[in-house]
Amino acid sequence: MSETLPTAEAQYDERVLLAKRKDSEINQAVLQPMMQTGRGFWGLVAALSAIVAWGVFAWGYLIYWGIGVTGKNRPVYWTLFITTFVFWIGISHAGTMISAVLRLLKADWRRPITRGAEAMTAFALMMAGLYPLIHLGRVWKFYWMIPYPNNRFMWPNFQSPLMWDLVAISTYLIGSTLYLYLALIPDMAMARDHTDGLRYRLYRMLALGWRGTEAEWHKLHRALGIFSVAIIPIFLSVHSIVSWDFAVTVQPRWHSTIFAPYFVVGAIYSGLAALATILVIVRRGMRLQEFLRSEHFDSLGKIVMVAGMFWTYFWFAGFLVEWYGNEPVIRELIRQEVSGRLAPLFYLQMTANLVPIVLLAFRRIRTTPAALLGATLLVNVGMYTERLLIVIGSLQRNDIPFNWGTYRTTWVEVSIVAMTFAGFVLLYTLFSRVVPYVPVWEIKEGRLRYTMRRIGRLLVPTAAEIE
Amino acid sequence: MPDVKASAERTPRWAMAVDLDRCTGCQACLVACHAENNVPVAGEKLAGYGRWMHWIIIDRYWEGEFPNVRARFMPVMCQQCGEAPCEPVCPVFATYHNPEGLNAQVYNRCIGTRFCGNACPYKVRTFNWFRPEFPEPLTEQLNPDVTVRSRGIMEKCTFCLQRIRAVEMEARAAGRRPADGEIQPACVQTCPPEALVFGDLNDPESRVSQLARSHRSFRLLDELGAEPAVIYLKGGETNV
Amino acid sequence: MRMRPTSRSDEASGTPEGSSVSLMGLFDEGTRTAEAIDALLAAGIAPEQMVVMSGVPYPEQALGRRREWLALPYIVLAGAASGFLFGLFLSVVTPHLYRLDVGGHPAVGFPPAAIIVFVFTMMATIVSTFLGVLWEMNFPRFGPAPYHKLVTDGNLALMLECSPSREGEVRQILQAHNAHHIGEPERMTL
C-alpha cells in the first residue's frame, strides 16, 4: 500500500465532495459494502473460524486434562492468559475514549469513527471476559463468584480484586454494548428502510420502531449525553481495577502504587493504536475512503503520540523509583530485564513503544495509511510485550531465592490466545457486514453543522457551535 | 460436661518452632507430610519444572567454593500468617483465617484462580496441575481423614489440622485441654533430631512459646509484616 | 407513497367523520420546513398537533419548536441511587451476614467497599439511562405508525392534524413551501 492521502487542497475537495453528496447517496455508500460478501470475505471468515475452532478445542483439552497442559508452574502461576486478558482490556479503552470523550468535547472529527471504536470496545471486552473463565482451575464452579444466597451459606469475597474485576468488566461490557446500540438505532431505521428480506426483519427488530420524530431525537441526544459522561468513570476504573489484581499483592515489582494510572494510560495508548490499525484496514477493505479521511487519521495519530508520551512518563516514574531503591529482588528483576534472560523482550518493548511516538510526530507518517498501520501495529507489539514482562517476568523472581522459577509456553496457551485474536477479528468482520460501519446519522448531523466559509483567500470548512 | 473450648480461657494460636541448628536436611518431614496428607508425587520431570507438590520443603542453599562448600537447610512450610496476604485475594473465600490462628484452605471451595499462590510471599502454596494419581497399591495408604484433592485446587500445609482436631476432640471428651506436645503434626512427629516443635503460642508455658522467646529466634520475611506463626531458631555456625 | 383522495371520509384512518384529518408533507431541507411551520402556526394550527420526522437531528430551536420536558434525568438519578444502595448492601451488609475473616482485614474495609459501591452505582446509572430512554420513547413499538421511508434519505416529514375544514388551507401552505408528497400519511409497520 503505497498510497498517500491527499494534500491540503485535495482534502478540501474531498470534504466538499462529501458536503455535496445527497443523503441517499451517503446511505447507499454505507450500505453497499455491507451487502458485498465476496470470496475474499468468506475466505477470511473461514480461516478465522478455523482458528477459533482450534482454540475452542484447545480450551476443551485444557478443561479435561487440567491447567498443567499450560506452561504454568510454581511460582509463575499466571502467564499468557492473564497477559492477554490485560491486553484485551487495554484495547477496549480506546472505543470509549473516542466516543465519549470526544463527544463531550464536541470534536467533529470523531463522527465517522465512533461506531467502529465502540464495536472494538465491545468485542475486546468479550474476548477479555473469556479469560477469567479460561484460567480457572475448576471452571465448572465459576458461578461461585456470583453473589446469590445458597444452601452452602457461602458468599464471594468482595475484598478480592477478582470480584472487583467481575463486576467492573460486566459493567463496562454492558455499558459499551448499550452505548453502541443506542447510537445505532437511527441507523438501524435507515437500514430498515433500504433493505428487504432477512436483513429487513433484523433491522426492523433492532430499530425498535424509530421514526425520527423530534421527541425521539431529543431523548436520544439526552441519553447519549448522559451515557458519555457516565461511561468515562467506568472506563477509568476498569483498568485500574485490573491493575490492582497485581498491585495488591506483595510480589516484588507488582506492589506499586503507580500501577493504576500506568495501566490506564498504557491501555489508552494501546487501544488508540489498535483503533488506528483497524480503521486503516477497514477503510481499505470496505472502501470507506470518503468517510475516513486524512484529517481523521491525522488527529488520531496525534492522540496516539500523546498517549505514548504519557505512557513513557508513567513507565519512567515507576522504573526510576524501583531502580533507585535498590531493593535486592527488584534489583534482580531489573537486571533480568536489562541484561539477563528477559533482555530481548525488554528491548523489544521499549523500541516498539518509543519508536512510534517519534514516527507519529511527522504528519507524513500520520496521513499515510501504510505507515500509520505499521507504527500502530508496532505499538501493540510493544504493549503486549510490556504486559508479558509485568505478569510473567515479575513472577519468576520473589523474596526467597529458592523459589525462583522459569516459564516455557505450550501449544495450548498459544492456541487459546490465538483463538481470542481470531475471535475478535471474526466478530469485527461479521459486525461490519451486519451493521453500517460509519454512523450515518452522525455524519449527516455533522454536515448540517459545517459550511464552507471564505477567510481571505482560503475557503475553509467551519463547524457551527450548536448543541 | 463443660465445653472446654468455650471456657473463659484463651483460644490457642498454633505455632511451630523450627530449630535450624538441629535440622540435618534429611527430608523425613517431607515424606511424612506426603504420607499423612495424601500429597501426590509429581515425578522427576514435573518437579524439575517447579510443579512439585511438597507442603513442606527443605530450602537448600550452597555457599562457598569447593572444598569449602557449605549447605544451608531451611524447612519451609505454610507460615500460617496472622495477617496472611493470601487470604483477602481469594474471590470465593476458599482460604480464610480460623479462630485458632490457622490459615485454613477449603479444598472443595477452591475454583483455582491461583491468586493466593501469587500473593503468598513464601510461595508455599502448591496447585494441582493435573489430576493426581496414586498408582496401586498406594491407594491403600491414603489417609481417610484428609480429602484427596482433584485437579484445579490449591493446597498447602495445614499444620495437620486433622490431627489437631482429633486430639482436641479426645481431650474435650475427657474434660481437659490438650497437653503441650500432645498434638504433633506428621512432620513434627517424624523429625529424627526433633528439630520441629509444635504448640500453642497463646500458652506462655508451652515449649513453643519458650522457644519463641529465645535469643536465637527469628521469623522468615518478618519485614513484610505477615506475622508468620513459624519461628526459626538459629545460633552460630552449626552446619558443615 | 400512495396518494389518497382529498375526500372527507376517513374510514382508512379510522377516525370518525368530521373530527380531524392527518396530513403529511415532505420537505427537502430545514429552512423551508421551519418557514412552513411558522406559517402553519400563524394559521392557527397548534404546535402539539404537528410532528416533524427527520433522518438527521435538527437542533431544537432550528425548527421553532419547544423543548419537551424529559423524565430521563430523574430516572437516571433514581437508578444511580438504587445502584448505590445495592452496592452498599453488597459490600457493607453481606460480609456481616456471611462472616469470614481474611488476612488481618476487618470484614468491611473502606477501599473494597468504595470500589464495589462505585461500580454498582455506575452500572445502575447506565442501565437506567438505557431503559429509561427506551421507556420514555415507548420503544419498542412495532405497530403501524405514520411514517415515510424517504425520511431517512434526507427529507423532513411534517405531519399534522387539523380539522377537515382547514385542510385546503393547510395544503396550500405546504405547497407554497415546496413540500412534495403531500397527502394522508401512510401507516407503515415499523
Tens of pLDDT along A158-177? Answer: 999 999 999 999 999 999 99
pLDDT at residue A458 greater than cutoff 70 = yes
What cell numbers appear for A242 in the block? 485490573
pLDDT at residue A1 greater than cutoff 50 = no
Write the pLDDT tens digit of every residue in B212-240.
Answer: 999 999 999 999 999 999 999 998 765 54
pLDDT at residue A398 greater than cutoff 60 = yes
What mean pLDDT, rounded, does chain A reach? 90
Mean pLDDT of A384-403: 94
Exposure pattern of A390-419 as b/e (b: 16+ CB <10 Å)? bbbbbbbbbbbeebbbebeebebbebbbbb
Task: Say if the Cβ atoms of A401 and B130 lie within 8 Å.
Answer: no
Interface confidence: ipTM more than 0.85 = yes
Contacts of residue B65, Cβ cutoff 8 Å, sequence gap at least 6: none
Mutation target vs B (from C90, C102, C115; most B CBs, 10 A cutoff)? C102
Which residues in chain C are contacts of A220 at CB distance < 8 A?
A: 57, 133, 137
| Partner residue facing B127 (CB), from A137, A161, A400 | A137
Cβ–Cβ under 8 Å, residues B113 and B90 = yes
What mean pLDDT, rounded, does chain C reach? 82
Task: Say if the Cβ atoms of C103 and B93 lie within 8 Å.
Answer: no
Which residues in chain A are contacts of B73 at CB distance < 8 A?
A: none
As beta bridge partners, residue B76 has: B57
Sign of the Cα pseudo-torsion (A149, A150, A153, A154, in order): negative
Mutation target vs A (from C51, C68, C119, C147; most A CBs, 10 A cutoff)? C119
Chains near A (3 or more Cβ pairs under 8 Å) = B, C
Task: Say if the Cβ atoms of B121 and A251 lie within 8 Å.
Answer: yes
Of C24, C27, C30, which is closest to residue C59 (Cα–Cα)? C30
Instruction: Name the C residues in 78-107 with CB < 8 Å from any A CB.
Output: 90-91, 94-95, 97-98, 100, 102-103, 105
Task: Say if the Cβ atoms of B152 and A145 lie within 8 Å.
Answer: no
Of A350, A321, A267, which is closest to residue A93 (Cα–Cα)? A267
Binned at pLDDT 50, 70 and 90, residue A17 comes out as low
Task: Say if the Cβ atoms of C104 and B86 lie within 8 Å.
Answer: no
| Partner residue facing C154 (CB), from A24, A164, A189 | A24
Cβ–Cβ under 8 Å, residues A363 and A424 = no
Residue with cell 481470531: A422
| Partner residue facing C72 (CB), from A178, A222, A234 | A222
Mutation target vs B (from C96, C98, C100; most B CBs, 10 A cutoff)? C100
Q: What is the pTM of this model?
A: 0.91
The listed range with the strongest mean pLDDT (A18-27, A192-201, B160-169) is B160-169
Q: Tally Cβ neighbours within 10 Å of residue B40.
A: 19
Mean pLDDT of C115-128: 96
Task: Say if the Cβ atoms of B152 and A402 lie within 8 Å.
Answer: no
**The predicted structure's pLDDT at residue A27:** 87
Q: Does C133 touch chain A (CB under 8 A)?
A: yes
Chain C closest CA to B93's CA: distance in Å?
A: 8
What cell numbers appear for A444 in the block? 449527516
What count of CB pairs under 8 Å joins A to C? 183
Mutation target vs A (from B92, B220, B224; most A CBs, 10 A cutoff)? B92
Q: At what angle do helices A214-247 and C72-88 cross, to 10 degrees?
A: 20
Which residues in chain A are contacts of C104 at CB distance < 8 A?
A: none
**How many separate helices (H) and strands (E) can be counted in chain C?**
5, 6
What cell numbers appear for B147 in the block? 480429602
Q: Tally Cβ neighbours within 10 Å of residue C72.
A: 21
Write the pLDDT tens digit of every residue in B150-165.
Answer: 999 999 999 999 999 9
Binned at pLDDT 50, 70 and 90, residue A357 comes out as very high
**The predicted structure's pLDDT at residue A294:** 87
**The predicted structure's pLDDT at residue B240:** 43
Instruction: Name the B residues in 84-113 with CB < 8 Å from any C CB.
Output: 84-90, 93, 95-97
Please return the burial class of A41, using the count of CB atoms within 10 Å of its CB with bins 0-12, 13-18 and 19+. Answer: middle
**The predicted structure's pLDDT at residue B93:** 93
| Partner residue facing A75 (CB), from B61, B123, B221 | B123
Binned at pLDDT 50, 70 and 90, residue C5 comes out as very low
pLDDT at residue A63 greater than cutoff 80 = yes
| Partner residue facing A74 (CB), from B51, B61, B131 | B51
CA–CA separation, A19 and A462 (whole Å): 12
CA distances to A78, A418, B54, B119 from A136, rounded to whole Å, are 10, 18, 22, 16
Chain C closest CA to B86's CA: distance in Å?
A: 7
| Partner residue facing C67 (CB), from A24, A193, A218 | A218
What cell numbers appear for A43 in the block? 475466505
pLDDT at residue C152 greater than cutoff 90 = no
Question: A14-28, A151-165, C1-15, C55-69: which has the minimum mean pLDDT?
Answer: C1-15
**Higher-scoring residue by pLDDT: B117, C4:** B117
Write the pLDDT tens digit of every residue in B16-74.
Answer: 999 999 999 999 999 999 999 999 999 899 999 999 999 999 999 998 898 888 888 89
pLDDT at residue C89 greater than cutoff 90 = yes
pLDDT at residue B84 greater than cutoff 90 = yes
CA distances to A348, A404, B216 from A344, rounded to whole Å, are 6, 20, 45
CA–CA separation, A272 and B83 (whole Å): 41
Q: Does B82 touch chain C (CB under 8 A)?
A: yes
Task: Say if the Cβ atoms of C98 and A190 lie within 8 Å.
Answer: no
Binned at pLDDT 50, 70 and 90, residue C2 comes out as very low
